[in-house]
Amino acid sequence: MGAKCPKKTNRWVHLRNVLKFLKENRRRLMTHTEEDRPDMLPTDAWWTVTYAIAPAIDAINIAFAQLQNRSLLMAQQESHIIALVATISTMFDLELIDRVDAVAEEHENFVRFETMRIRTDHLIILIEDQGSMARDCFLRLDVADKATVSKQIVAYAETLVIELQGVRAERDDSNLSREQDAPPVLPGQLVGLRPAHFIRNVLDPHRERILRFWSDVDIDEVEENHRQLVAAYNNDPILRRTIDEHDNSATFDDAWDVAPHQWLHLRAFCGGLATIFPNTTSVESDF
């Protein structure tokens, strides 16, 4: 039929390219298949689902490209994942089902799957947003097939959201997802921690590994640097204003260069916690 199939890269880029290829070449694909392999002709149900999930795949690919930015901190990776979950939830208008209603019977105004549901009218609009072809494919379905297709779309959206919520930017020693959130590594994050909480929750979990490379004196200096940072933030209004101007989207160097020659041990320690290996994205294995 003279159409070139996209090459595979990673699974999400590949899926996006395949969906784009299928949608753009739908008429020629249908004509070609109808002539050569009528037994393999995709159904209206198949096309409806294909069109409906395409926007979510596009959103995932945008997030994936952002996550490959080498300057991102792990906490910033997490913020992109959280934003992606919100985007998909809003896109499909997903609602959590209250436990009180969990045993209730299906309501005609909603399509539900396990713990989530989507309003039926919103689901129809979502399909129609993908164009007249998607709309017509859905309209040609009988009542039973419409119900099946609707449930498949809800199931796919729910699975995406739940699995994305389980993605962790940080890996443990076995390269598995860490349950803890990414540690605070920027001055604006560290000044909100009491020294006792910094030692217990940030420093102690990494103390054994640090001792392979640093001395006890170096670690004492990390603790002292944190106390100095907190004191300077509380007592110096100019420094406090400068630190507060950097939000969580700031790069590591920009955030720490508010005082480039101070708290060097603390900066080095946090730099190790924030490091993402070059040419990799720490969440790729989860994706």
- The one-digit pLDDT tens for each residue of the chain (287 residues) are 454 555 555 677 767 777 778 777 777 777 767 667 777 777 889 889 988 988 898 888 888 877 777 666 666 777 778 888 899 889 888 887 776 655 555 566 778 677 788 888 889 999 999 889 889 999 999 999 999 999 999 998 898 888 888 776 555 555 455 555 678 888 998 999 999 999 999 999 999 989 999 999 999 999 999 999 999 999 999 999 999 988 767 788 888 988 989 999 999 999 888 765 444 444 444 44
Q: Is the pTM of this model over 0.85?
A: no
Residues 51 and 146 in one domain: yes
CA angle 155, 156, 159 (to 5 degrees): 85
Residues 112 and 155 in one domain: yes
Q: Is residue 15 part of a domain?
A: no
Residues 222 and 161 in one domain: no
Reported residue count of the chain is: 287
Closest CA to 219 of 205, 233, 238, 240: 205
Phi, psi of 110 (to 5 degrees): -130, 150
Q: Which residues contact 86 (CB under 8 A, 6 or more apart)?
A: none
Residues 86 and 196 in one domain: no
Residues 100 and 59 in one domain: yes
Q: Is residue 173 part of a domain?
A: no
Question: How far apart are alpha carbons 65 and 263 in whole angstroms?
Answer: 33
Q: Return the pLDDT at 229.
A: 95
Strands (DSSP E) found in 86-208? 95-96, 110-113, 116-119
Residues 125 and 237 in one domain: no
Q: Is residue 283 part of a domain?
A: no
CA angle 136, 139, 143 (to 5 degrees): 160
Closest CA to 86 of 115, 66, 63: 63
Q: Is residue 113 part of a domain?
A: yes
Would residue 114 be called left, alpha or beta, if left means φ above 0 and alpha means ψ between -120 and 50 degrees? left
Q: Which value, to the nearest 10 degrees, does the dihedral of the CA atoms of residues 81, 83, 88, 90 take? A: 160
Q: Is residue 171 part of a domain?
A: no
Residues 93 and 200 in one domain: no
Residues 80 and 129 in one domain: yes
Q: Is residue 16 part of a domain?
A: no
Residues 133 and 50 in one domain: yes
Q: Is residue 30 part of a domain?
A: no
Residues 139 and 209 in one domain: no
Q: Which of 135, 165, 195 is the last residue of a domain?
A: 165
Determine the structural domain holding residue 192 and report its residue range: 187-274
**How many domains, the chain?**
2
| Helix (H) or strand (E) segment spanning residue 266 | helix 264-274
